[in-house]
Amino acid sequence: MRAIDLTKYFKKIEAETPDKDFIPDILLTSGDNSLYVEIAVTHFLEEKKVGSGIRIVEIHITEENDIDLIKSCNLSEEDLRIRVINFRKTPVAANIAGQCTKTVDSFIVYPNGKCILCPIPVPEFERLSNKVVYVERVDRLGRQAPEEEFVKRLERAFSKGVSVRNCWICIFHCLRYQTFESFCRLKKQVVDNSNQAVACKRFAPMGNLPECGLLVNARRRVFESQLAFTNNQRKTKDKPGVNVPREDHPPGWQSTDTSEQPQTPSVLSLTSGIPRPPLVRTARCVFCGNVYAENSGRWWWFNAEKSECKCNNCEKKGLS
């Protein structure tokens, strides 16, 4: 906001001097122009003075510290103790887009296929929208898990023919048993960031999206695999003369250190009788965009209400 020195516009300053039908606390005049400064302690402006059309700056004083506001000679309309009356505000033509602090939750696909879901400043949103970049505004971010919203937007962009390179649409992607982390069946390793597909030489996008959606399809495959494994164990156990070693996990299961990141989905009613994973709250790192579970131990701070966190890697990098 632009600062204005009133003493450059009003040459004469008087205290409690009659002017027309009023006696303002401070009267600033310059020719036919006048401005009142009223100090409101117990009595505020009367309707007659407000309706006079005279420009008035009213300063509310409720405690001794408020007097420092007057001594500073720096009054701001944004200060709740300041009230301006009868000022005609004229729009000024200027490019102040860089000063805008408002953000827009957006899903962005860059030319190299990288996808992100995060809040960006309004000027940046408009700049990207005018470029050869796929940008979609997200109006409901925060009403559901960030991972679910991300996959939903990813599906929409892919179905529109946008060139997307993400592990979620790769034929080798799946969810890991128990922890529900993204997992690469080709490399046999956990996928910390689904944008790893941008640089992956073995990335193979699926031909068509599953009708039920990527997230539901991946979770259902985990449930079906677990159910098939359980049924097979029961059949083998029932065979006479067969000694079945105890095994609590389906084939291909790998032990997981408790410090790793589980990406636990919300419970889905897919098939009755299928075991459901325990609910674990997750949050997205505000710096790198990766998702971490509350019980993973891989975050520096964790805000479950906002689904935001700062991971240990970003803390080590000194990002703030």
Q: Which domain holds residue 172?
A: 98-217
Q: Answer whether residue 188 is part of any domain.
A: yes
Amino acid 170: pLDDT:
93
Q: Answer whether residue 236 is part of any domain.
A: no
- In Å, the largest CA–CA distance within the chain is 113
Residues with pLDDT less than 50, the chain: 244, 246-248, 250-275
Residues 108, 71, single domain; the answer is no
- At which of 85, 111, 144 does a domain end? 85
Residues 77, 105, single domain; the answer is no
Residues 55, 106, single domain; the answer is no
- At which of 164, 182, 217 does a domain end? 217
Residues 112, 21, single domain; the answer is no
> CA 240 to CA 260: how far, in whole Å?
41
Residues 23, 65, single domain; the answer is yes
Q: Answer whether residue 158 is part of any domain.
A: yes
Residues 210, 102, single domain; the answer is yes
Give the total number of structural domains in the chain.
2
Residues 110, 202, single domain; the answer is yes
Q: Answer whether residue 309 is part of any domain.
A: no
Q: Answer whether residue 252 is part of any domain.
A: no
> CA 28 to CA 15: how far, in whole Å?
9
Q: Are 284 and 291 in contact (CB under 8 A)?
A: yes
C-alpha distances in Å from residue 261, one per residue of 142, 145, 151, 178, 180? 21, 16, 18, 12, 9
For residue 225, with 0-12 CB atoms within 10 Å meaning exposed, 13-18 middle and 19 or more buried, which class applies? middle
> CA 194 to CA 4: how far, in whole Å?
52
Q: Answer whether residue 145 is part of any domain.
A: yes
Residues 78, 166, single domain; the answer is no
Amino acid 212: pLDDT:
85
Amino acid 237: pLDDT:
65
> CA 257 to CA 222: how far, in whole Å?
20
Residues 16, 79, single domain; the answer is yes
Phi, psi (rounded to 5 degrees) for 106: -140, 150
C-alpha distances in Å from residue 197, one per residue of 76, 160, 171, 192, 267? 52, 19, 11, 11, 27
Q: Answer whether residue 308 is part of any domain.
A: no
Residues 159, 185, single domain; the answer is yes
Amino acid 93: pLDDT:
67
Residues 69, 104, single domain; the answer is no
Q: Answer whether residue 263 is part of any domain.
A: no
Beta bridge partners of 182: 175
Amino acid 266: pLDDT:
37
